[in-house]
């Protein structure tokens, strides 16, 4: 036997074995590479199945919690023993427990496939003792003879400032001190209407406003109803000006008594030189404040039937007024809609849209 041959044969066998192993490794790697997409797809499908199962379990748990808590809320609401404030407290606590942003006024909730949604908000259950309250804290009450809910306050500085900041508007200040609860002034009719439109959109997007409802300025007729005047339906605001003689927001006697409202300092019925915080004086029979004095209030209507120019109606008088006729409930002031000054503000109403 040739020892040299045997040694060389052993070396060749080792190289062949190594080469075969390398080729096998490459083949295995190629097979894994080709199988990788299928493996990844299988893992993704398995992960999706597990995620779907978790979601179903979570939704089932959330639904069970919703049904349990909602039953408790309905029990409080329908018991007949809970006060309005207790119903409100239960409603807000329900929202907190469910992790749902509920409107600031009790409504109805329902379970959908992906969670809880507000089913219904009802404005017709608002009352003087239980006003409808929106996201800005503005409160609204019904007025006999109208389908609108009236803001109990003039639109405040704090309300209007949210609108100004949100829409990047400029707003000229009045030149005298005001705190957040004073009525917003130096606002023309167009800007007052824009505030109402903006607020409507904000509340709808947040699910806080019933379908078909919107904020707007009051009509002249609605304002008369709110102040307690029984006027004929027919006729323009101009035709009704001063027609209810001897009728004032505080009653039938003149001069106004102490605390009747915020009027000119010459009247000596209040301690304010300019505007005063809303609600500083007694509310009327509907629970509405400042329908006499503080600031003039824009209405939707044109003053008369002038075909060429629409002067918008202003009602209520202001801190700068002292003449008896301007303090009448039936007095109508008017101005062009682009006019603004520091004795003019506005009040919102909440009502059904005409096309709803």
84-106 pLDDT, tens per residue? 667 778 877 888 888 776 665 56
- How far is the first Cα of the chain from the last one, in angstroms, to the nearest whole number? 110
Which pLDDT belongs to residue 114? 66
Contact 105, 194 (CB under 8 A): no
Q: Kindly report the average pLDDT of the chain as a whole number.
A: 88
Domain 132-352 grouped into CATH 3.90.1580.10:
yes
* Over residues 127-143, mean pLDDT: 89
- Interatomic CA distance for residues 346 and 152, integer angstroms: 12
| Phi and psi angles of residue 92, each rounded to the nearest 5 degrees, phi first | -70, -40
- Interatomic CA distance for residues 154 and 114, integer angstroms: 40
- Interatomic CA distance for residues 226 and 264, integer angstroms: 23
Could you list the beta-strand ranges (E) of 47-122: 108-112, 115-120
Query: What is the total residue count of the chain?
Result: 356
Closest to 282 measured CA to CA, from 272, 274, 273, 270: 270
**Highest mean pLDDT: which of 27-31, 60-64, 243-247?**
243-247
Strands 149-151 and 139-142 come out as antiparallel
Per-residue confidence band for 325, with pLDDT thresholds at 50, 70 and 90: very high
Least confident of 35-49, 140-154, 176-190, 282-296: 35-49
Closest to 129 measured CA to CA, from 79, 86, 85: 85
Q: Is the predicted pLDDT of residue 151 greater than 60, yes or no?
A: yes
What's the distance, CA 215 to chain centroid? 9
Q: Is the pTM of this model over 0.75?
A: no
Q: Looking at residue 176, what DSSP letter applies? A: S
| Phi and psi angles of residue 208, each rounded to the nearest 5 degrees, phi first | -100, 0
Which pLDDT belongs to residue 124? 67
* Over residues 127-152, mean pLDDT: 90
| Phi and psi angles of residue 313, each rounded to the nearest 5 degrees, phi first | -75, 140
**Highest mean pLDDT: which of 23-27, 112-116, 294-298?**
294-298
- Tokens 């035709």 correspond to what residue? 239
Q: Domain limits of the chain?
A: 3-120, 132-352
């Amino acid at each position: 036997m040739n020892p040299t041959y045997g040694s060389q044969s052993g070396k060749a066998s080792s190289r062949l074995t190594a080469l075969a192993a390398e080729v096998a490794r490459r083949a295995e790697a190629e097979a894994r590479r080709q199988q990788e997409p299928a493996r990844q797809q299988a893992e993704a499908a398995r992960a999706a199945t597990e995620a779907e199962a978790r979601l179903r379990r979570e939704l089932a748990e959330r639904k069970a919690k919703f049904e349990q808590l909602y039953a408790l809320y309905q029990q409080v609401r329908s018991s007949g023993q809970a006060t309005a404030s207790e119903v409100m407290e239960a409603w807000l606590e329900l929202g907190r427990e469910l992790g749902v942003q509920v409107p600031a006024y009790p409504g109805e909730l329902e379970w959908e496939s992906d969670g809880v949604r507000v089913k219904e908000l009802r404005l017709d259950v608002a009352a003087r003792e239980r006003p409808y309250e929106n996201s800005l804290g503005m409160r609204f009450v019904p007025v006999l003879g109208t389908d609108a809910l009236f803001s109990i306050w003039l639109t405040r500085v704090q309300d209007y400032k949210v609108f100004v900041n949100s829409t990047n508007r400029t707003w000229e200040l009045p030149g005298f001190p005001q705190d957040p609860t004073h009525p917003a002034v130096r606002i023309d009719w167009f800007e007052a209407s824009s505030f109402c439109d903006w607020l409507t959109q904000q509340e709808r997007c947040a699910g806080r406003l019933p379908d078909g409802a919107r904020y707007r300025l009051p009509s002249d007729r609605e304002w008369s109803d709110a102040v307690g005047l029984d006027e004929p339906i027919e006729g323009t605001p101009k035709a009704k000006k001063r027609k209810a003689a001897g009728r004032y927001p505080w009653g039938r006697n003149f001069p106004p008594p102490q605390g009747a409202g915020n009027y000119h300092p010459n009247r000596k019925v209040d301690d304010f030189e300019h505007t005063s915080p809303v609600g500083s004086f007694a509310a009327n029979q509907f629970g509405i404040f400042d329908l006499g004095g503080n600031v003039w209030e824009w209405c939707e209507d044109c003053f008369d039937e002038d075909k060429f120019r629409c002067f918008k109606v202003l009602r209520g008088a202001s801190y700068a007024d002292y003449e008896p006729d301007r303090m009448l409930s039936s007095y109508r002031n008017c101005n062009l809609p682009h006019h603004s000054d520091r004795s003019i503000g506005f009040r919102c109403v909440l009502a059904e849209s005409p096309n709803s």
